[in-house]
Structure 1
Amino acid sequence: MQSMTIEQLRAASDAGGVEGVTLKGQGGAFFIQISTRSGSTALLAKARSNEPRRFGNPVAALNVLRDVGITIGQFDASEWNPAEKEETAGNRGRADAMRKAHQAAAYTEWLAAEIQESIDDPRPNISHDDVMAEMDADIAALMAEHKPAARKRA
């Protein structure tokens, strides 16, 4: 069976060379089968290979067909078995990438709110040197408290 990319399908459809399409379920995926006016049959292929393009969701396949300009076709789910649906590395990778993007967006939103809260704080600003001097004094006081306890143990 021949293969056809989306660009080739669009060109064939625009030229009137597509007789019909069938969204065909096979195993856990859907394929787009194309019947041409010349009598040949082809499967929609990935952009840079002859490997058939697999759709885990028939809605995604229908969206591709609609975007190409094909709005009428057939549906064959006789060999479709949703239990055989494969999760591909691409799907997992995309899910991980989306999860990380959402986490990054949430962090950015949180950080922006923290910064804005600091800017809006009505309390007077304290210089870095004053903060460091106060911290040094607190640390020295804590060290002084704990030194006698350490000597008693020895």
Structure 2
Amino acid sequence: MSNNTIDTAMAKRMLDASAIQGASIIGQPGGWGVMLKFGITEKPLGAQRTDQPRVWRSLDRCMDYLKTELHITRVDLLDASKHSDASDKTSVRKDTSERMRQAHAAAAYNKWFREQVQASLDDPSPGIANEDVKQNFAAKRAALKQRIAGNKA
């Protein structure tokens, strides 16, 4: 367990041991956080792999997470006094635009590729007819057999 927050795995273990006595949803700039109460102490639910409090942009998603992941269906307090949609800090990763550009390029290529394959499948004369191929290779086999027979003699 981290020093400042409780991660989801620890919260689940504490809930199984009936150590969590309550939960509160607290509004803050940029979204909603969860405070878990155990004993006389309250700590925020932490983000994965960090010691930072987890923040949900949507109150519905926050409550859904509590219900589905932690099986908490009742909150003791909902404090929206400090909530605002604008975040104090920009949480956009610097590589997000590059990832999105690559995702759009990949989707465009995938669409183009599928169109090309479908066009080839729909083409009534995509290449050499099977009968022509069979006749061509039959002639080549016959010529090769004659050549082999000529070398043996």
Q: TM-score, normalised by structure 2?
A: 0.66
| Greater fraction strand | 1
The list of structure 1 runs, each at least 4 consecutive aligned residues, that deviate by more than 6 angstroms after superposition, is none
- CA positional deviation for 1:79: 1.0
Contact 1:27 1:85 (C-alpha < 8 Å) held by counterparts: yes
**Number of residues of Structure 1 aligned to a counterpart in Structure 2:** 124
Q: What SS class does the counterpart of residue 21 from structure 2 fall into?
A: strand
Is residue 81 from structure 1 mapped to residue 94 from structure 2 by the alignment?
no
**Which of 115, 118, 121 matches 2:120?**
118
Question: In 1, Cα distance between the equivalents of 2:28 and 2:90?
Answer: 15
Runs of 5+ consecutive residues of structure 1 not aligned to the other structure: 127-154
Structure 1 pair 17–124 and aligned structure 2 pair: CA distance change class (3 A): closer
Aligned position for 2:137: none
Contact 1:29 1:85 survives alignment (8 Å): no
CA distance in 2, matches of 1:109, 1:49: 38
The 3-state SS of whatever aligns with 1:79 is: coil
Shift of the 65–29 alpha-carbon distance from structure 1 to 2, 3 Å rule, reads same
Uncovered stretches (5+) of structure 2, i.e. residues with no partner:
129-153
- 1:69 maps to what in 2? 71
Distance 1:106 1:13 in 2: 47
Segment of structure 1 superposing worse, 114-123 or 12-21: 114-123
User: What is residue 103 of structure 2 aligned with on the other side?
Assistant: 101
Q: Deviations over 1:26-62 (max 9, x none)?
A: 12232111111x2211111123332212222223322
Query: Structure 1 CA distance, aligned partners of 2:57 and 2:22?
Result: 21
Describe the superposition over 1:63-95 as per-residue Cα deviations: whole angstroms up to 9, x where unpaired. Answer: 3212111111132111112244654124972x7
Report what 1:7 is aligned to: 9
Q: Quick check: 2:29–2:83 contact (8 Å CA) kept in 1?
A: yes
Identity score, percent: 27
Change (3 A) 1:124 1:80: closer
